[in-house]
């Protein structure tokens, strides 16, 4: 009995150490820039933003919902958005995905319009968020970011960083398609 | 002496740089309480873009937007909790430098206490174990002990 107790006394710190070591080891491989969105399960915040092409036209939250869709946050000052853009075009062309573009604090309306003209416009609706109002309410902290929204307008997933074939196949696509089964 | 002057001049230029940077942005307040609240909040809110910097520290455009929002809310009469809750609703608990006590952060709060407690218990156990029970010698050991003591006292008397 006594020797068992001694063994326990000496093994406990060892086990604690291994546990702590394992916990810290997983920390090495986690990406600290990937934050959970506080808005998962919550509706897209109310907004009132002008159209990118037409300053006189205003969009509100009524454009959200009705069917599963993506909201893609982008800007011309964002190099990763440039990388991402051809994949967004592909999503529209091959899979007919409904994407709303949220132009986030861009240098100018003209710069954003030129970009879409040159690279193609994968967005069904283009929102122009010059002061970052909606982006702030969405908790956007960088571009690109993509939100997956269900037909009731509830945010189901947020991806930070560029969308590409791998991210679509492994993360965003499955969430998006699961929304059609409900 | 020369080195001292060099170090001093560097320190002075750094502090001037800091002052110039701080002047880049100026927020007006109606009351001193509002200004205190703003200063407290901008030091406690973390910039989600440039992690490990508070929004008062950071030069990122996002931090600037957040400072603007905090200033706006403070001027509109928002309380400390209202501003913190507003930011948390958007950026998550991460945005506040004081993590809340909940299931995923409980280890942060009680962990150090727990480790100290375990350490104290361990030491307490060790000390108690040392005191426990008189040592009983066998007859053979008694004889050896007596012989050794005897030798020692003889040496001492010489």
Task: Count other Cβ atoms within 10 Å, centred on residue A105.
Answer: 19
Lowest-confidence range among A69-78, A138-147, A165-174, B146-155? B146-155
For residues A81-97, give the mean pLDDT: 93
Q: Domain check: are A23 and A100 in the same one? A: no
Task: Output the pLDDT for position B19.
Answer: 44
Residue A92, in any domain of the structure? yes
Domain span at A160? 48-178
Instruction: Let me know the angle formed at the C-alpha of A75 by A74 and A79, rounded to the nearest 5 degrees.
Output: 95
Task: Output the pLDDT for position B107.
Answer: 83
Burial class of residue B50 (count of CB atoms within 10 Å of its CB; 0-12, 13-18, 19+):
middle
Residue pLDDT, tens place only, B4-37: 676 667 666 655 554 444 446 788 899 999 999 9
Tell whether the model's pLDDT for residue A1 goes beyond 60: no
Q: Domain check: are B116 and B81 in the same one? A: no
Residue pLDDT, tens place only, A102-136: 999 998 999 999 999 999 999 999 999 998 889 99
Q: Domain check: are A107 and A174 in the same one? A: yes
Q: Domain check: are B38 and B66 in the same one? A: yes
Task: Identify the DSSP state of A93.
Answer: I
| Cβ-based interface (< 8 Å): residues of B facing A | 48-49, 51, 61-62, 65-66, 69, 88-94, 122, 125
Provide the β-strand partners of residue A158.
Answer: A147
Instruction: State how far the Cα of A175 lies from the Cα of B9, in Å rounded to an integer.
Output: 59
Residue B101, in any domain of the structure? no
Q: Which residue has the higher pLDDT, A51 or B153?
A: A51
Q: Domain check: are A73 and A111 in the same one? A: yes
Q: Report the residue from A9, A35, A39 with minimal CB separation from B48.
A: A35
Residue A135, in any domain of the structure? yes
Question: Which segments of chain A are extended strands (E)?
Answer: 48-50, 58-60, 69-74, 99-104, 125-129, 145-149, 155-160
Give the end of a domain, one of B75, B95, B115.
Answer: B95
Domain of B28, CATH number, reads: 1.10.8.640
Q: Domain check: are A55 and A110 in the same one? A: yes
Give the end of a domain, one of B45, B70, B95.
Answer: B95
Domain span at B140? 106-157
Q: Domain check: are A171 and A91 in the same one? A: yes
Q: Domain check: are A10 and A55 in the same one? A: no
């Amino acid at each position: 009995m006594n020797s068992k107790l001694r063994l326990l006394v000496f093994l406990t710190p060892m086990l604690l150490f291994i546990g702590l070591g394992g916990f810290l080891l997983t920390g090495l491989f986690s990406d600290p820039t990937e934050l959970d969105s506080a808005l998962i399960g919550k509706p897209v915040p109310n907004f009132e933003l002008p159209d990118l092409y037409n300053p006189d036209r205003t969009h509100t939250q009524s454009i959200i919902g009705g069917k599963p869709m993506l909201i893609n946050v982008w800007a011309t000052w964002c190099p990763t958005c440039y990388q991402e853009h051809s994949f967004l075009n592909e999503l529209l062309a091959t899979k007919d995905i409904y994407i709303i573009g949220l132009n986030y604090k861009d240098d100018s309306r003209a710069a954003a319009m030129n970009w879409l003209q040159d690279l193609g416009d994968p967005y069904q609706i283009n929102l122009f968020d010059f002061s970052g109002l909606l982006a702030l309410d969405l908790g956007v902290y960088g571009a690109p970011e993509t939100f997956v929204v269900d037909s009731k307008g509830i945010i189901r997933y947020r991806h930070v960083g560029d969308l590409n074939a791998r991210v679509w196949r492994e993360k965003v696509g499955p969430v998006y398609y699961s929304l059609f089964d409900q | 002496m020369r080195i001292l002057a060099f170090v001093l001049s560097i320190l002075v230029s750094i502090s001037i740089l800091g002052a110039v940077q701080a002047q880049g942005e100026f927020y007006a307040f109606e009351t001193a309480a509002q200004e205190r609240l703003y200063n407290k909040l901008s030091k406690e809110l973390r910039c989600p873009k440039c992690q490990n910097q508070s929004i008062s520290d950071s030069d990122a455009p996002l931090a600037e937007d957040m400072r603007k929002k905090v200033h706006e809310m403070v001027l509109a009469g928002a309380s400390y909790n209202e501003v913190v809750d507003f930011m948390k609703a958007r950026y998550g608990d991460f945005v506040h430098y004081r993590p809340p006590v909940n299931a995923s952060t409980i280890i942060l709060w009680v962990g150090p206490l727990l480790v100290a407690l375990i350490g104290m218990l361990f030491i307490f156990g060790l000390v108690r174990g040392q005191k426990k029970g008189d040592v009983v010698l066998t007859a053979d050991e008694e004889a050896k002990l007596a012989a050794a003591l005897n030798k020692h006292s003889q040496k001492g008397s010489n």
